[in-house]
Structure 1
Amino acid sequence: MRLSLFYNPFNLIERLAVEIKKTKRLKKLKNSSGKNLNQGHIDSLELLEIISTDLKEPIIFDIGANIGTWTLLAKSIFPESVIHAFEPLENHINEFNLSCVTLDNIYLHPFCAGNENNISKINISSFSDSSSLLQATSLEYESFNIKKVSEAEVNVKRLSDLINANLLPVPDVIKLDIQGFELEALRGLNTYLHEVSYIICEVSFKEYYKNQALFLEIANYLSTFDHHLFALGHNCPLGKELHQIDVLFKHIN
């Protein structure tokens, strides 16, 4: 802890309050599948807790599953849930399988969710979590000090087609974190969005990827299926400009 904090008791109290809150959040995951997660992995914790007051054994789609940290968090809150995870990058898939090997009812699908069935190129970043089907803007590279390192071909599929073919169930909960491609994945679910109860989505207020849909476009689209903004995630800053945050949409009849 910085020595200067002791000369400003208000800053010290504020810092201690933040650390206490962080500790309490992590303690909620003790003895669960998410016990080894860190603060950077649990931005959606409170949003999942909201959902847990309504649903107990949901079918969940984890779109943009990465290495499985969000799936572990969801399983911590919903131990009896069935999770279908979608992740196209081979290195992420390998880590996902290692992370979730001991958990039941988790199904990993090695492709991207979109609004067309095709093969596309994904732009792989030096920080692989930032890899996207969209081209990154200079803002993305400058904000996170990253660069594009390669490309890879990946399968993109419309989830509504897979549901129609009985290859996937209709989800109760959807989480999306796919680097600007969220709206395309939602469009690919088509009218099945009417049957989804909750959607957790990372939204942007600035263009980090070329032609990405920003918050208002996503919110307006979801409103046509009776999904409305319900809560903001823990990573929402107070009194500061918004860049990217997790939000919760709820289906309201």
Structure 2
Amino acid sequence: MEKIPWTLRTGLDPFERMARITGPDVACVVDGGANKGRTVDRFLALYPHALVRAYEPLPRLARKLAKRFADTPGVLVRPVALGSSPAVLTLNVLESATCSSLLDPTGILEKHADKPMGLAQTVDVDVVRLDAELADAPDVVKLDLQGFELEALKGLGELIGGVKAVLCEVSFTSMYRGQPLGPEVIAWMEARGFRVDGLYAPWPGKDGETVAADALFMRA
């Protein structure tokens, strides 16, 4: 694998970096793949006046999220997946639930070989476009969708023109069948006026190469 040309920011916090660049005047945050709510808490702390829209398609986790933030007026939980077309798709729920995906697992099984990674069940979930969910562009978007990030970005449609920052997981080797790799996602974002601020939390492969990371995109 060739050395990637983007800056690795190992050990640095992309959320703090994002908040410094965007400033506190943020009205809406999209948290795609909100999981157990850890990143929702980060956004509430960084942007106390924002509405955090938390998307989590796994029914068990979505119910827990809704219960956890039931009394938090700044959080709206949506138990649906994000994509480029409205649909009902099959979610592959793995034993390690955070690795569940709308795509079939491939390299992720090797990446997390130390964890139980068998297929626990499949669940049909609703998929929505963000531009059908939102009247106005969100200021900040975070996506951790196990290979479905570019589909969710495409679902923003013209709203992406108003987005200030995107934190998006990218892979440089295939983790799920058919997922777009990092260079394709980055090229798509650059064509829409973003630049890569850096790659955070890089995951090294067996030979020290970066196989996945969280890419922080800011307006160029």
TM-score bin, normalised by smaller chain:
0.7 to 0.9
Match of 1:236 among 186, 202, 205: 202
1:49, distance to aligned residue in structure 2 (A)? 1.4
Aligned partner of residue 53 in structure 2, secondary structure: strand
Contact 1:194 / 1:251 at 8 angstroms: preserved in 2?
no
1:237, distance to aligned residue in structure 2 (A)? 5.9
| 1:106 lines up with 2:75 in the alignment | yes
1:66 is matched with 35
Q: Which has the higher helix share?
A: 1
1:83 is matched with 52
Q: Which amino acid aligns with 2:14?
A: L
| 1:143 lines up with 2:111 in the alignment | yes
| 1:96 lines up with 2:62 in the alignment | no
1:99, distance to aligned residue in structure 2 (A)? 3.4
Match of 2:138 among 171, 174, 178: 171
Contact 2:147 / 2:180 at 8 angstroms: preserved in 1?
yes
1:132, distance to aligned residue in structure 2 (A)? 0.4
1:44, distance to aligned residue in structure 2 (A)? 9.8
CA deviation map 1:34-80 (0-9, x unaligned): xxxxxxxxx99722212222321321000111111111112122222
Aligned partner of residue 15 in structure 2, secondary structure: helix
Distance 1:192 1:49 in 2: 24
Give the paired residue count: 204
Contact 1:60 / 1:172 at 8 angstroms: preserved in 2?
yes
1:155, distance to aligned residue in structure 2 (A)? 0.2
Contact 2:203 / 2:212 at 8 angstroms: preserved in 1?
no
| 1:119 lines up with 2:119 in the alignment | no
1:158 is matched with 129
Contact 2:62 / 2:78 at 8 angstroms: preserved in 1?
no
Give the gaps of 5 or more residues in structure 2: 1-9
Distance 2:104 2:143 in 1: 18
2:154 is matched with 187
Give the gaps of 5 or more residues in structure 1: 1-42
Distance 1:118 1:44 in 2: 38
Contact 1:191 / 1:225 at 8 angstroms: preserved in 2?
no
Q: Which has the larger radius of gyration?
A: 1
Q: Cα gap change, 1:45/1:191 in structure 2, threshold over 3 Å: closer, same or farther?
A: farther
| 1:245 lines up with 2:206 in the alignment | no
Q: Which has the higher strand share?
A: 2
1:240, distance to aligned residue in structure 2 (A)? 2.9
1:232, distance to aligned residue in structure 2 (A)? 2.5
Identity in percent:
27
Distance 2:77 2:110 in 1: 32
Q: Which amino acid aligns with 1:46?
A: D
Q: Mean alpha-carbon deviation: is it higher for 170-179 or for 74-83?
A: 74-83
Match of 2:99 among 130, 134, 143: 130
CA deviation map 1:190-213 (0-9, x unaligned): 221111000000111110100101
Contact 1:205 / 1:215 at 8 angstroms: preserved in 2?
yes
1:28 is matched with none
Match of 1:55 among 6, 9, 23: 23
